[in-house]
Amino acid sequence: MYNDFLPMTKKEMLEMGIEQFDFIYITGDAYVDHPSFGMAIVTRLIQDLGFTIGIISQPDWRSDRDFRRFGSPKYAFLVTAGNIDSMVAHYTSAKKKRSDDAYTAGGKAGKRPDRAVTVYCRKIREYFGDIPIGIGGLEASLRRFAHYDYWSDSVMPSVLVDSTADILMYGMGEHQIRELCTRLASGENIKNITDIRGTCYLTEPVNTPIGSAQCPSFEQVRDNKREYAKATRIQYDQQDEIYGKIVTQRHGDTMLVQNPPAYSLTTEELDYIYSLPYTKNYHPSYEKLGGVPGIEEVKFSITHNRGCFGFCNFCSIALHQGRRVSVRSEKSILEEAEKLTHMPDFKGYIHDVGGPTANFRHTSCEKQLKAGLCKGKKCLAPVPCPALKADHSEYLDILRKLRSIKGVKRVFIRSGIRFDYLMQDKNEDFLRELIQYHVSGQLKVAPEHCSSAVLDKMGKPHIEAYKKFQKRFYEITKSIGKEQYLVPYLMSSHPGSTLNDAIELALFLKENKIRPEQVQDFYPTPGTISTCMFYTGLDPYTLKEVYVPKSAEDKAMQRALLQYFRPQNREIVLKALKKAGRTDLIGNSPKCLVRDDSTGAKNNIKNNNNIKNKNRSEKFGSRGKKH
């Protein structure tokens, strides 16, 4: 019925003449065949390798019907929660249930279980017994070690242990899935496949590889926060494809083994991945349900890079995609743009040409190509490394050629721009053309905070970098006669942020006439350095204590301070300022965050009393007696 898509039903399977699939892919997302969705890349790659594959999208985990739809695969089940962690998909940072899900048809919530990877794998074990199971995607990748789980407020074991799967593929997965599929097809037992880079497996402690970097055990990190912080540093220090060692972590009588990261895809390999025959749409069966909202922002977008040497502590990219940047060729990008212009619903607008960070087009320095990225250090924070190579010339040339393609009206950049990196480029051509051609009225950037103490805990540059960028942005915008604005992303309640830091940020916003419509509370997602600080109260790189705002009141005050101008936040901002001893910011002068209405209130009370006395005199006479 849907020949351009991979089969999702038994009917489609039989129509294709397939009696048994080589692999069955189970996902927590609706089926979207677009390379911004991991499922599309993995399944198209498996297909291109010559294997048959069926997709079971968002199976009902309360029965066996969906899991048994295709019967048993010839080689293995492959399981993912989808594009994001299932708990993040289900809950807000306040742990409230979300009312929608961008990766489900019609935006409907509740179509996948909590901790989907574990639930799906256990169901497979229940129905199919000791069949090979491989897991991957963001949920599996970020939960590969013992990890703090924000929603249960506990340390959980590796998802590989919990799920009972045989092998975990972390990172982007193309190298891993290619090797795993071909080796399974050649007859190897999945339990013996223990040497693929970018994978984790379980073994008896006696088989622990020699020379590995061993983390404190699950039991140790569960019971001791200092040990948890130590484990986090070891895990991050070995996430480099050049010098990263095997990392191990004992779980009871089992040893978790993480092989070194897979090598980044070369430009040729990335070009191949993006040349696969994607339909670039959601499965037509979802049309009657309203489509899949998650495709709206990416359908007419182009990914040109992977990896991010920005390495923010609250971001999962370093542990998943890695810090090394790899890119597609200009030819591949232009060919994709040309294809977009022939899509029936293309209106002439390419929504984005980016990736994790849009303006990273090459490695941050030459050294890392042979030596890897510096362990425990950042390329851009707190200040740019002297070895940093900031050059936008190749990216700019690609954007110019995209703008010249027939049928393309505008090319926007909506994924993150690292303004601090941009300002290191002595040539302003990219900055000028970014502002002139690639901004749609507003440019979203992420200073996140203004307090140096907080930014250090975030792994972000100090606010001076943003101020410098902001100044040039508005100068250039004015010089070309445009009215455009910066929209800064801001985060409240990140580890290290005290009430005084939040007040400092409120004053910065007031001084710069910034009134954010939305503020993001820090969300402790699995595996990040910031989540380690949130849970342990320690910086894993120094083991020094970090203040963590955890109480509902503290978090509410910090969030309200960032929107101090809202009338509904007045009382909580007053409370916060009094608690911090900053009553100097309550009053009617320009420097104050909220007005002091107490004088007006006293006058109102006095006036009301005068009116009452006057009325009383008229009613009772001067001595209070009735006439």
Q: Mind spelling out the 3-state secondary structure of 166-218?
A: CEEECCCCHHHHHHHHHHHHCCCCHHHCCCCCCEEEEECHHHCCCCCEECCCH
In a domain, 554, yes or no: yes
Distance CA 130, CA 491 (A): 45
Distance CA 152, CA 224 (A): 17
Same domain, 371 and 452: no
Q: Which residues on adjacent β-strands are paired with residue 135?
A: 79, 168
Same domain, 391 and 469: no
CATH number for the domain that contains residue 496: 3.30.750.200
Distance CA 211, CA 127 (A): 39
Distance CA 199, CA 180 (A): 10
> Using an 8 Å Cβ cutoff, are 502 and 554 in contact?
no
Q: Which residues on adjacent β-strands are paired with residue 249?
A: 256
Strands 213-214 and 254-258, by their bridges, are unpaired
What's the Rg (C-alpha) of the chain?
Answer: 28
Same domain, 418 and 461: no
In a domain, 265, yes or no: no
> What's the pLDDT at 61?
97
Q: Which residue has the tokens 């899900």?
A: 101
Q: Write out residues in the chain with pLDDT < 70, as ranges.
A: 1-3, 598-627
Same domain, 88 and 122: yes
Same domain, 574 and 605: no
| Boundary-marking domain end, from 173, 199, 225 | 199
- pTM, rounded to two decimals: 0.92
| Boundary-marking domain end, from 148, 174, 199 | 199
Distance CA 467, CA 92 (A): 31
Distance CA 262, CA 321 (A): 10
Q: Which two tokens stand for residue 170?
A: 């972390």
Domain span at 561: 441-596
In a domain, 185, yes or no: yes
Q: Which residue has the tokens 């927590």?
A: 28
In a domain, 283, yes or no: no
Q: Which residue has the tokens 């490394």?
A: 385
Same domain, 485 and 568: yes
SS3 assignment, position 226: helix
Distance CA 460, CA 454 (A): 9
Distance CA 432, CA 583 (A): 43
Q: Rounded to the nearest 10 degrees, how much is the dihedral formed by the CA atoms of 284, 288, 292, 295?
A: 60
With 0-12 CB in 10 A as exposed, 13-18 as middle and 19+ as buried, what is 119? buried
Same domain, 454 and 585: yes
Same domain, 426 and 448: no
> Using an 8 Å Cβ cutoff, are 200 and 167 in contact?
yes
In a domain, 578, yes or no: yes
> What's the pLDDT at 194?
98
Number of domains in the chain: 4
Distance CA 452, CA 467 (A): 13
Q: Which long-range contacts (C-beta less than 8 Å, at least 24 apart) are formed by 569-572?
A: 570/594
CATH number for the domain that contains residue 32: 3.40.50.2300
> What's the pLDDT at 605?
42
> Using an 8 Å Cβ cutoff, are 56 and 27 in contact?
yes
Distance CA 403, CA 349 (A): 10
Of 128, 130, 146, the closest CA to residue 191 belongs to 130
CATH number for the domain that contains residue 363: 3.30.750.210
In a domain, 268, yes or no: no
**Helix/strand number for the chain, H first, E second:** 23, 22
Same domain, 38 and 172: yes
> Using an 8 Å Cβ cutoff, are 94 and 521 in contact?
yes
| Boundary-marking domain end, from 177, 199, 221 | 199
Q: Which two tokens stand for residue 438?
A: 């690639």
> What's the pLDDT at 517?
85
Same domain, 450 and 420: no
> Using an 8 Å Cβ cutoff, are 619 and 626 in contact?
yes
> Using an 8 Å Cβ cutoff, are 459 and 312 in contact?
yes
In a domain, 241, yes or no: no
Q: Tell me the per-residue pLDDT of 578-615, one tens digit each, with 9 for 90 and over.
A: 999 999 999 999 999 999 876 544 444 444 444 444 44
Q: Which residue has the tokens 């940020």?
A: 505
In a domain, 242, yes or no: no
Same domain, 457 and 603: no
Same domain, 587 and 623: no
